[in-house]
């Protein structure tokens, strides 16, 4: 047994014990909210400004490449997590409206302001070729910074709008219309993907774009990156029971099919294949026996699509 594997198994034993205790608590009291969701609090990395800037860079890069060389005015992000830092990047760069659709409300004004201030430093330190352009952009951002801070502090903004829509799946008020939808490491967590893709089609105008980075790996549930495809439905239900949210185990083809079904054309698909620690096909659980080779091999994907 490799050192890596032994370390994983040791950690896993502790996790199973912790989870079993949570399972019992929840059986006794169904309203019990699992602490740490069974060792996975999962608000992602958006409390770090640099991470947010990189994520925003990926998705706005996709938009600029396939839609238009400008910043879309109205933007929706699904699952922003710990902070709305990626949305703050969008607003600093010129968007007017940002909508955060999540399953939980993580809103923390102090955290958002801290990330915003870190972001402004990162953007201002960027090396642009033309000094004039850099100065002009800096002035525009400084002006936006003040307006964004006002809105974050609860004041009504004239141009800037930030709305946290959580839980979006039970949202009674009409949803906003947007020009661009993006998500980072979120779609693998949404259980009702059909509903997600229909909602996305509803909020985007014709000609609007979406960009989604999806992680198909086991999220630490198994030593092998694709070991979750070997777990039976019964065991999987038990694992999920104590988590606020888990992974849906839907492969790439589900997303491709639902995008097409909801009226989108895929304009770009970048796939990554899984790493060295992987299960062989003969270990696949019954549910996944017919997984295509592409689905079996794909560990992450960036999908960019246009609403027809
Ligand atoms: C791994 S975190 C990623 C957060 C952030 N995008 C990042 O890159 O760090 C997953 C996010 O998906 C959200 N999420 C889980 N289920 C969801 C659902 N049904 N709809 C929208 N967001 C969901 C979680 O609340 C969390 O914010």
What does the pLDDT look like over 193-203, one tens digit per residue?
A: 999 999 999 99
Q: Is the CB of 79 inside a 6 Å radius of any atom of ligand 1?
A: yes
Q: What is the pLDDT of residue 38?
A: 37
On average, the pLDDT of the chain sits at: 89
In angstroms, the CA 289 to CA 80 distance is: 33
Is there a single domain that holds both residue 25 and residue 160?
no
Measure Cα distances from 55 to 52, 93, 108, 213, 285 in Å.
5, 14, 20, 9, 34
Is there a single domain that holds both residue 28 and residue 138?
no
Is there a single domain that holds both residue 11 and residue 88?
no
Average pLDDT over residues 11-27: 75
* pLDDT exceeds 60 at position 187: yes
More confident residue, 65 or 4: 65
User: Residue 68 C-alpha to ligand 1 middle, in angstroms?
Assistant: 27
Is there a single domain that holds both residue 42 and residue 21?
no
Structure tokens at 64: 């600029």
User: Residue 152 C-alpha to ligand 1 middle, in angstroms?
Assistant: 21
**Based on the structure, what is the number of domains in the chain?**
2
Q: Residue 61 is part of which domain span?
A: 35-307
* pLDDT exceeds 80 at position 26: no
CB of 65 within 8 A of CB of 268?
A: yes
Q: What is the pLDDT of residue 86?
A: 97
Lowest mean pLDDT among 91-95, 157-161, 180-184, 241-245: 241-245
Is there a single domain that holds both residue 26 and residue 164?
no
The Cβ-side half-sphere exposure at 260, using a 13 Å CA radius, reads: 5
Percent pLDDT > 90 in the chain is 67
Is there a single domain that holds both residue 201 and residue 303?
yes
Lowest mean pLDDT among 73-87, 118-132, 215-229: 118-132
Is there a single domain that holds both residue 157 and residue 288?
yes
Measure Cα distances from 112 to 86, 120, 160, 162 in Å.
10, 12, 15, 12
Q: Is the CB of 38 inside a 6 Å radius of any atom of ligand 1?
A: no
Q: What is the pLDDT of residue 296?
A: 97
List the residue whose alpha carbon is closest to atom 7 of ligand 1: 44
In angstroms, the CA 128 to CA 124 distance is: 10
Question: Each residue of 34-46: pLDDT tens digit?
Answer: 554 433 345 778 8
Q: Is the CB of 52 inside a 6 Å radius of any atom of ligand 1?
A: no
Give SS3 for 43.
coil
In angstroms, the CA 189 to CA 186 distance is: 5
Q: What is the pLDDT of residue 279?
A: 95
């Amino acid at each position: 047994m490799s050192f890596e594997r032994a370390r994983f198994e040791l950690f896993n034993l502790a996790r199973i014990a912790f989870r079993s205790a949570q399972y019992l608590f929840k059986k006794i009291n169904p309203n019990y909210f699992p602490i740490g969701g069974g060792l996975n609090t999962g608000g992602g990395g958006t409390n770090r400004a640099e991470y947010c800037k990189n994520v925003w860079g990926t998705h706005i890069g996709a938009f600029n490449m396939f839609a238009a060389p400008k910043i879309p005015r109205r933007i929706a992000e699904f699952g922003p997590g710990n902070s709305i830092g990626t949305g703050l990047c969008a607003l600093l760069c010129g968007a007017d409206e940002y909508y955060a659709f999540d399953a939980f409300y993580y809103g923390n004004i102090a955290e958002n302001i801290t990330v915003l201030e870190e972001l402004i430093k990162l953007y201002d330190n960027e090396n642009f070729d033309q000094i004039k352009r850099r100065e002009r952009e800096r002035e525009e951002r400084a002006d936006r910074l003040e307006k964004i801070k006002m809105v974050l502090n609860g004041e009504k903004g004239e141009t800037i709008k930030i709305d946290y829509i959580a839980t979006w799946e039970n949202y009674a008020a009409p949803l906003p219309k947007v020009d661009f939808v993006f998500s980072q490491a979120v779609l693998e967590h949404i259980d009702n993907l059909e509903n997600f893709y229909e909602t996305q089609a509803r909020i985007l105008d014709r000609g609007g774009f979406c960009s989604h980075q999806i992680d198909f790996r086991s999220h630490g549930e198994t030593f092998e990156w694709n070991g979750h495809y070997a777990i039976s439905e019964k065991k999987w239900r038990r694992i999920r029971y104590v988590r606020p949210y888990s992974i849906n185990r839907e492969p790439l083809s589900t997303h491709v099919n639902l995008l097409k079904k909801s009226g989108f054309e895929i304009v770009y698909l970048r796939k990554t294949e899984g790493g060295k620690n992987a299960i062989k096909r003969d270990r696949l659980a019954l549910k996944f026996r017919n997984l295509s080779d592409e689905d079996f091999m794909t560990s992450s994907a960036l999908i960019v699509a246009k609403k027809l």
